[in-house]
Amino acid sequence: MGHLRFKCFAFFIFTFFIACFQTKELALNRSNDFKDNGNGTITDLKTKLTWQKCSMGQKVNSQCDGELQSTNWLIAMRYCEKLSLANQHWTLPTSQEILSLLSSDSIHQVNAIVFPNNGKGNYWTSTSHETVDLIGIVLNMQEAKADYKVKFDMNTVRCIVKHKIKKKDGSHHHVTWKEED
């Protein structure tokens, strides 16, 4: 984001101010892709995924007041599994799921109108490194960058609802991401 603004500013000062206005407009338009369910959860209308509105450590209110709490990967997994919010079953999102929160425009950030007070840190995913199980994937929501971190590192947590899927035999299992048929 900063690189794009710097480029515009360096060559066309007038264009820079237009780009800033368009950026704000795009962020507002992206908020139409989400529904605040009024119970501490947000539903992404495009992916049908339901998210915890406020991150670990924050109060469940309109601005997600309070300090973000950081934790290691194992505690993050347990936190989501034990989360008692909106009568749902929760889990830590995969890297693919958390990347779906990023806007598809040139900004590539999480919508701060829908998910306020994200902070500047990394968010844990449930996804581990392909070959080294002690390393997990995190996403920096402000910079829209995925990275690898040792699972003992301290990072922020936002959980996702496990959706209950009925199998053909009548039993149920929980999934988060469901591809359209």
So where are the chain's domains? 35-175
Average pLDDT over residues 101-106: 73
pLDDT at residue number 167: 63
Q: How far apart are CA 137 and CA 16, in angstroms?
A: 34
Higher pLDDT, 141 or 28: 141
pTM of this structure: 0.74
Q: Per-residue pLDDT for 123 more than 90?
A: yes
How many residues comprise the chain? 181
Higher pLDDT, 15 or 31: 31
Is 28 exposed, middle or buried, given 0-12, 13-18 or 19+ CB atoms closer than 10 A?
exposed
Average pLDDT, the chain: 79
pLDDT at residue number 145: 87
pLDDT at residue number 176: 56
Q: Per-residue pLDDT for 13 more than 80?
A: no
pLDDT at residue number 121: 87
Q: Per-residue pLDDT for 11 more than 80?
A: no
Residue 25: what residue type? E
Q: Per-residue pLDDT for 56 more than 80?
A: yes
* Strand order from edge to edge, sheet including 122-128: 122-128, 135-140, 145-150
Average pLDDT over residues 9-38: 49
Q: How far apart are CA 2 and CA 107, in angstroms?
A: 9
Higher pLDDT, 160 or 28: 160
Beta strands in the chain (DSSP E): 34-36, 41-44, 50-52, 90-91, 122-128, 135-140, 145-150, 160-161, 163-166, 172-175
Q: Per-residue pLDDT for 60 more than 80?
A: yes
Helix (H, G, I), strand (E, B) or coil at 102: strand
pLDDT at residue number 143: 82
CATH 3.30.420 fits 35-175, yes or no: no
Q: Per-residue pLDDT for 5 more than 60?
A: no
The answer to whether 72 touches 56, Cβ cutoff 8 Å, is no
Closest by CA position to 109, among listed 133, 141, 80, 66: 141
**In the chain, what percentage of residues exceed pLDDT 90?**
55
pLDDT at residue number 12: 35
Range 72-98 burial, b when 16+ CB lie within 10 A, else e? bbebbbebbeebeebebebbbbbbebb
Average pLDDT over residues 81-98: 95
